[in-house]
Amino acid sequence: MTSPALPRLFGDAYAAQPHVAIDQLRSLGPVAWAEIDEGVHALVVTSHRAALDLLHDTATYSKDARRWWALNNGHVPKHSPVLALMGWRPSLLYADGATHQRLRAAMDDCLGRIDLQELEEITRRHAATLISRVAPLGTVDVMADFADTVPLMAFADLLGCPQEVGARLVAACQGVINAGPGAGLAAQDLIGCLAELVGLKRHRPGRDITTWMVTHHAQLSDEEILNQLFVVVGAGTIPTAAWIGQSVRLLLSDEEYSRSLVGGAVTVKRAMEQTLRTHSPMAHFSVHFARHDTVLHGIQIPAGIPIMISHQAANTDPALPAETRGARDHLAWSAGPHRCPAVGPATRIAQAAVETILDQLWAMRLTDQSVPNRPGPFHQCPSAVSATFKPATAAALTAAASSGGTA
């Protein structure tokens, strides 16, 4: 298990060439061992068929991270960054059976109440605010200046944050996303903001996800509500940012797309769908634990070992017929009972953001042809999407926004 030959799904070499580790994993079988952080090991499923079999087999596989043998026995470094998403919390992401159904129903109901048209308008407004800050400069890093922040601003509204709490929430999430030395403190700030928000909405309900969670007939406890909201923000913002950044990159770098950018929404939609298949924003996730020693597609799966899905490898599985590889049944949103419940809102946010930046920054050109991803095993996100464009005045931006854009 400690062999240096294990594929590594973290670090600079992986971030620079993720396909090398993924090809290596695939060559080892439908499920294979990988190192996901220094000294932290997991089994990773690369076969599309095996991934679907696992994701639908709730009798054999559990999401409960308290089953993680290495963590329980002190073999996972206390400060490993993988714990932020793999450590157990009392939320739907780590729940099975009836507990999951109860928490998931509350999540589905609350996300289902979002007015998607309004969400799109909110997103366009926030996107325009961020663009106005860089528009006179003529250069932009689409990740740092735009994609990382648009979903956060939209989420602050969805959660019903008053302005001051919203600003703190955005700053705390940015600290978590940057994963620097202040990440631990930022995560505490985020929990603090969410706790404050829950308290606030108990007294002053609004038309927002926090209020809908608080008043849901499943009668969630404060701790459950807090953790549901933590998953919404924690599981939602980074992949949405990655999806925006990677889609803009594809639209600007692929000749066929850049020629047809005047095609507007249809072209953007096509590029976004392609990104989900070829650059899954959640490259490796859907962590499970076998309830007992078992076998998956001929590979021994011991109980207590994290087994995760490479959504990236499954989507690009050469065993899939070419027509299926191009189809919409990719696994970027996962599958089975834990499939992402936010496909609608995530798509509205990402599409509105991509359309707005392309509409408002004219003649955008990438300045780096190849950039590494951000390090870490879970998300697939370019570390930067640097571009130049024709600098614009505030008046020109207003005109472009009101005409629907002409870039």
The reply to whether 376 sits near ligand HEM by the rule CB under 6 A is: no
- Residue pair 307/42 in contact (Cβ under 8 Å)? The answer is yes
Q: Which of 7, 18, 166, 239 binds ligand HEM (CB under 6 A)?
A: 239
Q: How far apart are CA 384 and CA 286, in angstroms?
A: 26
Part of the chain binding ligand HEM (CB under 6 A), chosen from 9-17, 46-54, 173-181, 342-350: 342-350
The reply to whether 160 sits near ligand HEM by the rule CB under 6 A is: no
If the CB atoms of residues 246 and 267 are measured against ligand HEM, the closer one turns out to be 246
Q: Which of 18, 175, 236, 376 binds ligand HEM (CB under 6 A)?
A: 236
Part of the chain binding ligand HEM (CB under 6 A), chosen from 23-31, 298-306, 329-337, 387-395: 329-337
Torsion sign, CA atoms 162, 165, 167, 172: negative
Part of the chain binding ligand HEM (CB under 6 A), chosen from 25-33, 130-138, 253-261, 339-347: 339-347
Part of the chain binding ligand HEM (CB under 6 A), chosen from 42-50, 215-223, 263-271, 344-352: 344-352
Q: How far is CA 263 from CA 117, 127, 246, in A?
A: 21, 20, 19
Q: Which of 346, 358, 385, 392 binds ligand HEM (CB under 6 A)?
A: 346
Smallest separation, CB 127 to ligand HEM (Å): 15
- Residue pair 51/43 in contact (Cβ under 8 Å)? The answer is no
Smallest separation, CB 285 to ligand HEM (Å): 5
Q: Report the residue number whose CB is nearest to ligand HEM.
A: 236
If the CB atoms of residues 43 and 235 are measured against ligand HEM, the closer one turns out to be 235
Part of the chain binding ligand HEM (CB under 6 A), chosen from 121-129, 165-173, 238-246, 393-401: 238-246
Q: How far apart are CA 53 and CA 164, in angstroms?
A: 46
Q: Which of 93, 110, 153, 229 binds ligand HEM (CB under 6 A)?
A: 93
If the CB atoms of residues 150 and 232 are measured against ligand HEM, the closer one turns out to be 232
The reply to whether 33 sits near ligand HEM by the rule CB under 6 A is: no
Smallest separation, CB 136 to ligand HEM (Å): 31
Q: What is the pattern of x (binds ligand HEM, CB under 6 A) and - over residues 255-294?
A: ---------------------x----xx--xxx-------
Smallest separation, CB 347 to ligand HEM (Å): 8
If the CB atoms of residues 11 and 337 are measured against ligand HEM, the closer one turns out to be 337
Question: How many residues lie near ligand HEM (CB under 6 A)?
Answer: 28
Instruction: Enumerate residues 99-128 that contact ligand HEM by CB under 6 A.
Output: 104, 107
- Residue pair 225/214 in contact (Cβ under 8 Å)? The answer is yes
Q: How far apart are CA 306 and CA 321, in angstroms?
A: 29
User: Token pair of 205, please?
Assistant: 């309900």
The reply to whether 231 sits near ligand HEM by the rule CB under 6 A is: yes
Smallest separation, CB 166 to ligand HEM (Å): 16
Q: How many residues does the chain have?
A: 407
Question: By the criterion CB under 6 A, which residues form the site for ligand HEM?
Answer: 92-93, 104, 107, 231-232, 235-236, 239-240, 243, 276, 281-282, 285-287, 311, 332-334, 338, 340-342, 345-346, 349
